[in-house]
Chain A
Amino acid sequence: MENNILLFTILGLTFVTALSQVFMLLLNNMKKHPGIDEMSDDELEEYQQKSREVLHDASKKANKILTNAELKGIEYIARQKLDIEKLVSDFNQQTRGLEGKLIEQFKISLEKTEKTYADYINVLQENLRQEEMKNQRLFQEKSSKMIDNAQQVMSAFIMDINNKMKIQIDEELKVIRNELETYKKHRFEVINKNIVDILEKTLEETLGKKLSLTEHSEIIFQSLEQAKQDHNLT
């Protein structure tokens, strides 16, 4: 773009230069031949014819220069274009080559990075595993210690509780034994008092249906005779 502008600027200057030369030439001619008003019509016509010829030559030369300039310009542009295309293809080629190199380098560096990363991960894993084992060992030691402590405390506590409970149970047993003795005593007293009723009820259940009428009759007569002997009839 800038080249195009430069080219057209050069062409323009060339045209202006040509025109100015033409005008200079004309002026020189006019200076050589001083006054138009003093000349005759034939001379004027001759000069006009010459000036026309000069102008025509000038314009022809100017056109020629312009054409040449245009052609040169076109040639320059074409050359430029070719150069640019070549440049572009070179650039693309260079770029592709560079791209390939870069990709390879990138691949290499990626592999390296991956390898490094894998190594780093392995190292990390190994560290973690060792740390874990260490923690596990520490945890086991601490928990064993804690369990031992707890066992000792529990044993002491249980023994203490056992002793206390033993004492308490002994006391309770003593109280219970006393109560049992009292109860037994009381029970025997109650039984002794009510033994007759108890026996009566027991015998009612067991003998009531077992004695025959004859046996009943015998018992009645025995009791009456006994009462008679004891003078206890009335």
Chain B
Amino acid sequence: MNVREIQQILLNNTYTKPDYIRRLTLIREYLESRFFAENKINFSDYLVNVKALQIDREALSVLDEHFFHLFTRDNVYLLINGLTESIKVLPTLTLYLAVMLDDYQIIELGKWFRQNLNPDLIIDVRCNPTLVSGCSYVWNNRYKDLSLHYFLSKKQELINRILDAYAKQQL
């Protein structure tokens, strides 16, 4: 199995770059302890021991022994480095949110974007409070504004009419 296939397994439940890197680090550390510290513990227990996040434990629970048998002492770092480098070539969507959502909501968003834009994309989440609500994103070097500003601008004429009616009524 090559790097791309391993990456695909990882990306099944991973939608953001930080999650990907964090989970890859957990896998690397587990493999290091397994190969070089001769730790016989299984991956789930290992995650509990290192107090990994719940979301990471859920996402990485699909990785079975078959997955870890893909790694050997000789190829572990090769594969890990390959997996680290490959993230740079993944299609990236930079998502700007007004508030930082929780992990499950981010997962939902990730699923939506993969469903509607690109099944291979990975999301880089940033926080921009000036958006107030809604979101904006950069995809294929294009900025797309779906924030409050965008929707208010769409309704500007309506808002102006409301204001005029109000002004006439009051003045």
Give chain A residues whose Cβ lies under 8 Å from the Cβ of B130.
Answer: 204
| Cα-based distance from A165 to B146 in the complex (angstroms) | 59
Known: A196-B156, A203-B132. A208 touches B146 (CB 8 A): no
Q: Categorize the interface residue count of chain B.
A: 35 or more
Whole-angstrom distance from the CB of B41 to the nearest CB of chain A? 35
Known: A208-B129, A216-B98, A234-B140. A223 touches B163 (CB 8 A): no
Q: Say whether, besides A188-B167, A195-B156, A196-B152, A223 and B102 are in contact (CB < 8 Å).
A: no
Interface readout for A204-218 with B: 1 if CB under 8 Å, 0 if not? 100110010110110
**B135, closest chain A residue (CB):** A220
> Known interface pairs A191-B163, A203-B132, A234-B140. Does A216 touch B101 (Cβ–Cβ under 8 Å)?
yes
Q: In the assembly, what is the distance between CA of A195 and CA of B152, in Å?
A: 9
Using CB atoms, name the residue of chain A closest to B97.
A220
Interchain nearest-CB distance for A163 vs B (Å): 32
Give the docked Cα–Cα distance between A200 and B108 (Å). Answer: 27
Smallest CB separation, B130 vs chain A (Å): 7
Which listed residue (A188, A195, A228, A234) contacts B159, Cβ 8 A? Answer: A195
Residues in A with CB closer than 8 Å to B42 are: none
A168 CA to B130 CA in the complex, in Å? 51
Q: Provide the residues of chain A in CB contact with B153, threshold 8 Å.
A: 196
Chain B proximity of A202: nearest CB distance (Å): 10
CB distance from B76 to the nearest CB of A (A): 38
Which B residues lie within 8 Å of A234 (CB)?
Answer: 117, 139-140, 142, 144
Partner of A213, one of B105, B139, B148, B160: B105
Q: Measured between C-beta atoms, what is the minimum distance from A226 to chain B in Å?
A: 8
Give CA–CA (A227, B146) in the complex, Å.
8
> Bound state CA distance, A227 and B112, in angstroms?
13
For the complex, is A5 an interface residue (Cβ under 8 Å from B)? Answer: no
Q: Does B75 interact with chain A (Cβ within 8 Å)?
A: no
Q: In the assembled complex, how far is the CB of residue B131 from the closest CB belonging to chain A, in whole angstroms? A: 9
Judge whether B64 is part of the interface by a CB distance below 8 angstroms: no
Q: Check if A188 sits within 8 Å of B164, measured CB to CB.
A: yes
Chain A interface size range: 20 to 34
**Which of A196, A214, A226, A227 has the most chain B CB atoms inside 10 A of its CB?**
A196
* Chain B residues within an 8 Å CB radius of A220: 97, 101, 109, 133-135, 146
Q: With an 8 A cutoff between CB atoms, is B27 at the interface?
A: no
CA distance A214 to B99 in the complex (A): 11
Residues of chain B contacted by A88 (CB below 8 angstroms): none
Asked whether, in the complex, the Cβ of A200 is within 8 Å of the Cβ of B105, the reply is no
Could you tell me which residues of chain B, from 135 to 158, have a CB within 8 Å of some CB in chain A?
135, 139-140, 142, 144, 146-153, 156
> What's the Cα separation between A197 and B157 when bound, in Å?
14
| Closest Cβ neighbor of B152 among chain A residues | A196
Smallest CB–CB gap between B129 and chain A, Å? 7
Q: Which residues of A contact B167 (CB under 8 A)?
A: 188
- A197 to B164 CA separation, bound complex (whole angstroms): 17
